[in-house]
Structure 1
Amino acid sequence: MSSVAKAGEAVSPPAAEPPKGRRGLPVNLRQSGIYIAFAIIVALFAVLTDGQLLSPGNISNIIVQNSYILILAIGMILVIIGGHIDLSVGSVVALTGAIAAVLMVNHDVPWPLALLLTLLAGAAIGAWQGYWIAYFGIPAFIVTLGGMLMFRALTLTVLDNQRIGPFPDDVRTIANGFLSGYLGNIGLGFLGGADLFTLLVALALVGGFVVLGWRRRQGRIGYGQQVDPIAVFAAKNALAVVVVMFIAVQLARFKNLPWVLVLLGALVLAYTTLTNRSVFGRRIYAMGGNPLAARLSGVNVKSVTFWLFVNMGVLSAVAGIVFAGRLNQAGPTAGTMFELDAIAAAFIGGAAVQGGVGRVIGAITGGLLMGVINNGMSLLGAPSERVMLIKGLVLLAAVAFDIWTKRRSGAAR
């Protein structure tokens, strides 16, 4: 075709080139990197521990021992998506656990009422901090740093610098208990017996996961958005199904589903729906991505910020109840360093330092990754300083990876 068009001839536009940066790996590294890293670390520790990491009892222990960090990570990922940070959650965990202990143990308040009052106390703490951040304009870092000190002091005051316990059996069951085998056990060949109810719950979960993933994919195709190739989509779902069913089989072989896992599952489902399908969730992302643009588009940034911290206070109270119930007592040093673990889980799980990016399931994966490192190093007999070193390096690598992927995607445009 001649490079010069004749007069009067319409010149057809050149064929659109594929956008740069789409070639290479068929997966989005920024979204999938945490899951790849998690799989590698699990496989590594499984080999180093001769399979102990993936034994039925140890998998159950990993979930139960890290449940309160995972609960905090759900709230923290929302705060970070909104462009803020919360350094006080460890102290709030200690204070709310102390409030629950004083109500139930010292004043014989029925445990359901005591738990409700504890959640309300967590909401009040979050509202206190949210007011200063949202309506007075003090940066969240400063407010929650002050809160970390104040709420720890209040914990010492409430407990009179003593440990209070034991908790009622029902509260301990929430943190340490397991569901009963409602449908009995079935044989799994060389694996032995397993709880049928747990297996059916897992099958329903993976079935719903696959259906929702397919519907989301079809919706994106309908809107002309880019989606993974069908082979990549199928591989991702197959891997997720295998992982979930493996964990379910191991739990079913041990003591069935932990109650705290049921609680976590409900929270993950609720907050994933909140972030993906609600107006409030979209406003959180908009506020974190560009606060000025969000405000100009009609988002009440102050209100969203306020309720983010109220929510963080409530989830901190839930974590405080679970942690105190697991230890069967409330203590002055409870929750120490929990804020750092929750923040690390969020960033390792894909949250962006500047806000506006992150997923609830990513934060859960990040928290589990830290839990696997703790557990695996413990099984290997590693000293605590080496565990802290590894966790610090993993956090640094996660943030560096986030910055690298941003620069890479920016250079590809």
Structure 2
Amino acid sequence: MSMNQETLLAGRKVSKKPNWFKFDVRAYTMIGALLAIWVLFSLLHERFLTPTNLSNLFLQMSVTSILAIGMVLVIVAGQIDLSIGSLVGLTGGIAAILNVWYEWNTIPVIIATLLIGAAIGFIQGWIIAYRAVPAFIVTLGGMLMFRGILFGTTGSVTIAPLSPSMKSIGQSYTGDIIGWIFGILALAAAGYFILRKRAARAKVGFEVEPLAVSLVRMAVIGVLVIGFVYLMNSYKGIPVPFVMVIVLALVFTFISRNTVFGRQVYAIGGNPEAARLSGINIKRRILLVFVLCNTLAAVAALVLTARLNAATMSSGQNYELDAIAACVIGGTSLMGGTGTIVGAVIGALVMASLDNGMSLMNLESFWQYIVKGGILVLAVYVDIYTRQKKKT
């Protein structure tokens, strides 16, 4: 047998039929853990899987999810932000002051709060990117300063109650009809992106998955969406904060996957030196990452303040740790360069499910810290283990 024939046979042996149902260990492990948590708490407490409790669960996870969406970009870029919890407290306090003390209408309050969040993100990002001060130090200082400014600005008093329109940001629900419209739009979007991906692969000559596989994917998504909308409508409807989470997750997923900016952020976190040599403006990208993260912290502040109908001195305390934990549990690597928005949202759902379930069982609060801390350490261990395994 000639050398060319041997090479051809070897190539045939190596080439495998594509596996259209790729097994992502981290993703399936995370989803499996979430299902296991839900099954466990449903067996331990009959109220866990009721529409009322699940609606509260999705409402509770909204703030952490919004923070985690912004934190993913920061961590993927190889940075960290320890200030977002205190920033939630500060911007929420400013929103309440404007709405309660100065009687501003809801729209101006929202605009002012978002602008303040973006401005703080610009300042922190500029110091980190253009003055080369480590993000850990800058955001740690911000965490302390923002909390102190909150105490000084509000006089350490709770500011309440908010106006009805302001309060509706965190406490309102979609009606049944709007819920079903939202579900139909979600199904249409899922079908569009699946078929668009097929068409894009076929256009460039790549192998396309069988149509039956695509239909199965759409069917699974359809069952999940219809079941979710039906469940939420059986209580009060879909919580508006959770709708905001879905919209933000879709927008930032598109940004991270389908834009030059998103690809460059992943490149910076994966290999900063290679990113620099390829002509990426690293400083500008890091600056923009912190602007986006802190703007989302202001969005989370509006939701939290509206849900509580008050701005308190403890608002946002330790939320930065919950956001980081949600990202890591969702598959974001603290080494940078790896992570997804969807994974972070599922990680936030895992965290909220643990809090909700243990609260229903009337467990002492220290158990929540122990369990969440243990899961965080386990998630980081799995990340490091899988990275080492890939190298070998």
Q: What TM-score do the two structures reach when normalised by structure 1?
A: 0.87
Q: CA deviation at 1:111?
A: 2.2
Match of 1:367 among 333, 339, 348: 348
Aligned to 1:283: 264
The change in CA–CA distance for 1:208 and 1:28 in structure 2 (over 3 A counts) is: same
Amino acid at match of 2:35: A
Aligned to 1:98: 93
The change in CA–CA distance for 1:18 and 1:237 in structure 2 (over 3 A counts) is: farther
Within 1, Cα distance between the matches of 2:212 and 2:183?
24
Q: Matches of residues 136-147 of structure 1 in structure 2 within 5 Å?
A: 136-147=131-142
The change in CA–CA distance for 1:392 and 1:213 in structure 2 (over 3 A counts) is: farther
Identity %: 39
Within 1, Cα distance between the matches of 2:73 and 2:270?
13
Within 2, Cα distance between the matches of 1:383 and 1:235?
43
Aligned to 1:191: none
Aligned to 2:319: 338
The change in CA–CA distance for 1:102 and 1:135 in structure 2 (over 3 A counts) is: same
Report the secondary structure of 1:54's partner residue: coil
Q: CA deviation at 1:207?
A: 3.5
Within 2, Cα distance between the matches of 1:119 and 1:172?
17
Bigger mean CA offset, 34-43 vs 252-261: 34-43
Amino acid at match of 1:367: A
1:51-98 CA-partner distances (Å, limit 9, x unpaired): x22211111101112211111011001111111110000100000011
Within 2, Cα distance between the matches of 1:139 and 1:339?
17
Q: Matches of residues 76-87 of structure 1 in structure 2 within 5 Å?
A: 76-87=71-82
Within 2, Cα distance between the matches of 1:273 and 1:306?
20
Report the secondary structure of 2:162's partner residue: coil
Within 2, Cα distance between the matches of 1:202 and 1:216?
21
Q: Any conservation in 2 of the 1:27–1:232 contact (CA below 8 Å)? A: no
Within 2, Cα distance between the matches of 1:86 and 1:308?
11
Q: Is 2:37 the partner of 1:34?
A: no
Match of 1:162 among 143, 157, 161: 157
Where in structure 2 are there 5+ consecutive unaligned residues? none
Within 2, Cα distance between the matches of 1:388 and 1:222?
51
Q: CA deviation at 1:33?
A: 2.7
Aligned to 1:18: 14
How many residue pairs get aligned? The number is 389
Q: Is 2:48 the partner of 1:67?
A: no
Q: Comparing both structures, which one devotes a greater share of its residues to helix?
A: 2
Aligned to 1:190: none
Q: Any conservation in 2 of the 1:83–1:287 contact (CA below 8 Å)? A: yes
1:308-335 CA-partner distances (Å, limit 9, x unpaired): 1111111111111111111111111111
Aligned to 1:256: 237
Q: CA deviation at 1:136?
A: 0.3
Aligned to 1:406: 387
The change in CA–CA distance for 1:42 and 1:219 in structure 2 (over 3 A counts) is: farther
Q: Matches of residues 316-395 of structure 1 in structure 2 within 5 Å?
A: 316-395=297-376
Amino acid at match of 2:341: V
Aligned to 2:116: 121
Report the secondary structure of 1:254's partner residue: coil
Q: CA deviation at 1:199?
A: 2.5
1:296-319 CA-partner distances (Å, limit 9, x unpaired): 111100000001111111111111
Match of 1:312 among 277, 293, 306: 293
Report the secondary structure of 2:234's partner residue: helix
Report the secondary structure of 1:53's partner residue: coil
Q: CA deviation at 1:227?
A: 8.5
Amino acid at match of 2:44: L
Amino acid at match of 1:168: S
1:124-145 CA-partner distances (Å, limit 9, x unpaired): 1111110110000011111101
Bigger mean CA offset, 214-223 vs 167-176: 214-223
Amino acid at match of 1:42: W
Q: CA RMSD in A?
A: 2.5
Q: CA deviation at 1:169?
A: 0.7
Aligned to 2:194: 213
Report the secondary structure of 1:15's partner residue: helix
Where in structure 1 are there 5+ consecutive unaligned residues? 182-194
Report the secondary structure of 2:10's partner residue: coil
Within 2, Cα distance between the matches of 1:158 and 1:286?
40
Within 2, Cα distance between the matches of 1:308 and 1:364?
18
Within 2, Cα distance between the matches of 1:225 and 1:284?
26
Within 1, Cα distance between the matches of 2:41 and 2:194?
30
The change in CA–CA distance for 1:76 and 1:406 in structure 2 (over 3 A counts) is: same
The change in CA–CA distance for 1:266 and 1:26 in structure 2 (over 3 A counts) is: closer
The change in CA–CA distance for 1:141 and 1:220 in structure 2 (over 3 A counts) is: farther
Within 1, Cα distance between the matches of 2:267 and 2:27?
19
